[in-house]
Amino acid sequence: MTVRKPAFVAVDWGTSSFRAWLMAADGHVLAETRGPEGMLHCATTGFAPVLTDHLAKLDAAQDLPIVICGMAGAKQGWVEAPYLRTPTRLGALHDGAQRVDTPGDVRILPGIAQVDPAAPDVMRGEETQLLGVTEPNFTGLVCIPGTHSKWIRIENGNVVSFTTYMTGELFSVIAQHSILKHAIEHEAASPAANDAFRDGLQRAIAKPAGLTASLFSLRAAQLLGFQQRADGATRLSGLLIGTEIADASARYGTQSVRLIGAGALGQLYATALAQAGFDISIVDAERASQQGLAKAAIHLWGATFT
Amino acid sequence: MTVRKPAFVAVDWGTSSFRAWLMAADGHVLAETRGPEGMLHCATTGFAPVLTDHLAKLDAAQDLPIVICGMAGAKQGWVEAPYLRTPTRLGALHDGAQRVDTPGDVRILPGIAQVDPAAPDVMRGEETQLLGVTEPNFTGLVCIPGTHSKWIRIENGNVVSFTTYMTGELFSVIAQHSILKHAIEHEAASPAANDAFRDGLQRAIAKPAGLTASLFSLRAAQLLGFQQRADGATRLSGLLIGTEIADASARYGTQSVRLIGAGALGQLYATALAQAGFDISIVDAERASQQGLAKAAIHLWGATFT
């Protein structure tokens, strides 16, 4: 029987969530802790106390090195880890890590920026997932659904270009704050919800430039008795995801795509991408973060792991 | 000198506003009153007391007939005036008016519905503006900017099809509730705001299917120093209006358009439509409502006007 011992701590520190894992040298997860203490929370409490609390929950030895990805490295974060610029080699992310002026060896990985006035874009956290799910010389397309969905073109292990869609956030603000709140039920989906999702998707893929009209149309269809309120949420989701996929398909081509997904949203994207003609391979989002942090840790401290 | 005497009262009763005019038989406005007592307000106070108050402000004789357009005729309004269905003759709007069971002669004009499962749509209030600004056998395209912008195709005096865009409402919810609230200043526009509007417009017209990416891009451009926060609001406005115009242009063709506009928003649309290649004639939105209500009043009671 192999007994793995703790080699480092891996942290995914987002805008509104904190997750940390006690890791073995081979990337195996030995323990985990999570909480709502994201960057926004830490703006008032500070970052160090939150980390200390979670390290205690992991029962981590004080001398273990710690590697962090995500918003902790933003300008408004703990210590800024300036963006690497496209094109940039995923395998060299650790070169941009910033050491935090705190006891122990704590490093924050950088995000990636596309410094192009015609297509400015930024990511923090997703670059580590990309590192986690790609081989050193990977060439291909990756999709990471979420609040701000990302599509990333990687060539020979380099991030060459990417596009962020406000899909998830638009769903929230439209469902909560627009007239469509009257067209949405937040309870369990109806039996016909899958059909509504596919309908929304098809409509958006056929007319991606018509999104702002399709949104009102969703409300009008209910007023006129063509559609049910119970299907509103999945139809809205279909419209927004379909618009994203249609545009990404026009930019990057309809091809093989590696989908970094989780839970229900991952399933919706898998359905939608297949319907749009993509050839999909799915990898788990949390595992992608763990593996990316582990690869960076091995670059940073691998020689000292025993 | 001609002395015009009051012949009827015209009311535009919207979701969140009330406007009424004391009118002469020839459509001349003799007095006006306005307030925030729209349909939402009246849900608690009732409609009749609000009307009575405003009639007193107009010093209107008790026997004057009253014609109303807008949300007072919605299902959640005062008395439902069921939608006419496309194609429908604007000159026959008054045939669908509902008389209110209240002292005096009070009638509410109907809205128009497009009862088409592939493109369901509804309007209430805009149909009266259309009546106001078109000749009996008008053929052409009309654009009515607003919270829910409308584009209407009219043939020989009949509304044959229309499309509603959530442009104004999306501007509000995105500017107030999404991450773009950090990219928007609500104070006076910067000297470069006009350029920012045109830039947003151009980007949207070139890539109307990319709206949900262009929105995030607006934020990223500021983070990377390419754009200024002071220009955020006009740029967002350009993106949303440009997306609307690009889609409407694809549906209805780039041609002559009658723009029913008002104030700053009307100016933005005039700029945008010209940039997109439309040939525009502008008519004032409030005058359009007055004239439409007057035309309906003349149909309803013209024989009795002295």
Best of B224, B228, B252 to mutate (most A CBs within 10 Å, chain A): B224
B260 and A151 in contact (C-beta within 8 Å)? no
Asked whether residue B119 falls in the same domain as residue B201, the answer is no
Best of A224, A227, A235, A241 to mutate (most B CBs within 10 Å, chain B): A224
In a domain, B140, yes or no: no
Residue A306 has pLDDT above 80, yes or no: no
B215: CATH: 3.30.420.310
Q: Dump pLDDT digits (tens) for A143-155.
A: 999 999 999 999 9
Q: Search chain B and give the residue with CA nearest A243.
A: B209
In a domain, B144, yes or no: no
Asked whether residue B127 falls in the same domain as residue B240, the answer is no
Contacts of A153 in chain B (CB under 8 A): none
**Beta-carbon contacts of residue A28 (< 8 Å; ≥ 6 apart):** A4
In a domain, B154, yes or no: no
User: Of B120, B170, B210, which has the smallest distance from its Cβ to A217's Cβ?
Assistant: B120
Q: Can you give the pLDDT at residue B305?
A: 85
A113 and A102 in contact (C-beta within 8 Å)? no
Asked whether residue B296 falls in the same domain as residue B280, the answer is no
- Indicate yes or no: CB of A212 within 8 angstroms of CB of B212: no
Domain, as residue range, for B254: 167-284
B296: CATH: 3.30.420.300
**Count of beta carbons in the 10 Å neighbourhood of residue A302:** 13
A142 and A134 in contact (C-beta within 8 Å)? yes
pTM value is 0.94
Asked whether residue B14 falls in the same domain as residue B126, the answer is yes
Q: At A304, is the pLDDT very low, low, confident or very high (cuts 50, 70, 90)?
A: confident
Q: Can you give the pLDDT at residue B210?
A: 97
Asked whether residue B15 falls in the same domain as residue B107, the answer is yes
In a domain, B238, yes or no: yes
**DSSP one-letter code for B190:** P
User: Of B115, B212, B246, which has the smallest distance from its Cβ to A243's Cβ?
Assistant: B212
For residue A222, give how far its alpha carbon lies from the nearest alpha carbon of chain B (Å): 9
Residue A191 has pLDDT above 90, yes or no: no
How far apart are alpha carbons B12 and A75 in whole angstroms?
Answer: 50
- Indicate yes or no: CB of A212 within 8 angstroms of CB of B177: no
Q: Search chain A and give the residue with CA nearest B200.
A: A118
Residue A189 has pLDDT above 90, yes or no: no
Asked whether residue B49 falls in the same domain as residue B126, the answer is yes
A15 and A39 in contact (C-beta within 8 Å)? yes
- Indicate yes or no: CB of A213 within 8 angstroms of CB of B164: yes
Predicted complex ipTM: 0.94
Q: Search chain B and give the residue with CA nearest A208.
A: B209
Q: Search chain A and give the residue with CA nearest B207.
A: A209
How far apart are alpha carbons B12 and A131 in whole angstroms?
Answer: 60
Percent of chain A whose predicted confidence (pLDDT) is above 90: 92
- Indicate yes or no: CB of A220 within 8 angstroms of CB of B121: yes
User: Of A113, A176, A178, which has the smallest distance from its Cβ to B169's Cβ?
Assistant: A178
Asked whether residue B187 falls in the same domain as residue B109, the answer is no
- Indicate yes or no: CB of A220 within 8 angstroms of CB of B120: yes
Q: Can you give the pLDDT at residue B187?
A: 66
Contacts of B216 in chain A (CB under 8 A): 121, 148, 164-166
Tokens 């942290």 belong to residue: A11
Nearest to residue B209, comparing CAs of B178, B247, B173, B180?
B247
Tokens 């007055």 belong to residue: B290
In a domain, B64, yes or no: yes
Beta bridge partners of B121: B114
Pairing mode, if any, of strands B140-144 and B256-261? parallel
Q: Can you give the pLDDT at residue B193?
A: 74
In a domain, B62, yes or no: yes
Q: Can you give the pLDDT at residue A289?
A: 98
Q: Can you give the pLDDT at residue A110?
A: 98
Give me the helix-helix angle, B193-206 and B232-252, nearest 10°: 40
Asked whether residue B36 falls in the same domain as residue B101, the answer is yes
Q: For residue B98, give both structure tokens.
A: 């509902």
Q: How many domains does chain B have?
A: 2
Structural element, H or E, at residue B249: helix B232-252
Contacts of B176 in chain A (CB under 8 A): 177
Q: For residue B41, give both structure tokens.
A: 């307000």
pLDDT (mean) for A211-238: 95
- Indicate yes or no: CB of B212 within 8 angstroms of CB of A246: no
DSSP of A210-253, one letter per residue? GHHHHHHHHHHHHHTTSS-GGGHHHHHHHHHHHHHHHHHHHHH-
Asked whether residue B110 falls in the same domain as residue B27, the answer is yes
Q: At A1, is the pLDDT very low, low, confident or very high (cuts 50, 70, 90)?
A: low
Could you list the mean pLDDT of each consecutive 10-residue stretch along chain B, which spans 306 residues? 88 96 96 96 94 97 96 96 98 96 96 97 98 97 97 98 97 96 78 86 96 97 94 95 98 96 94 96 97 97 86
Asked whether residue B89 falls in the same domain as residue B188, the answer is no
Three-state SS at A128: helix
B128 and B283 in contact (C-beta within 8 Å)? no
Whole-Å CA distances, B274 to A100, A210, B32, B255, B257: 54, 21, 33, 10, 10
B111 and B81 in contact (C-beta within 8 Å)? yes
CB pairs under 8 A between A and B: 129
Contacts of B169 in chain A (CB under 8 A): 178-179
Asked whether residue B117 falls in the same domain as residue B29, the answer is yes
Q: Can you give the pLDDT at residue A236?
A: 96
In a domain, B149, yes or no: no
Q: Can you give the pLDDT at residue B189?
A: 65
Q: Dump pLDDT digits (tens) for A64-80.
A: 999 999 999 999 999 99
Q: Can you give the pLDDT at residue A7?
A: 97
Best of A75, A174, A212 to mutate (most B CBs within 10 Å, chain B): A212
Beta bridge partners of A155: A158
In a domain, B150, yes or no: no
Asked whether residue B193 falls in the same domain as residue B278, the answer is yes
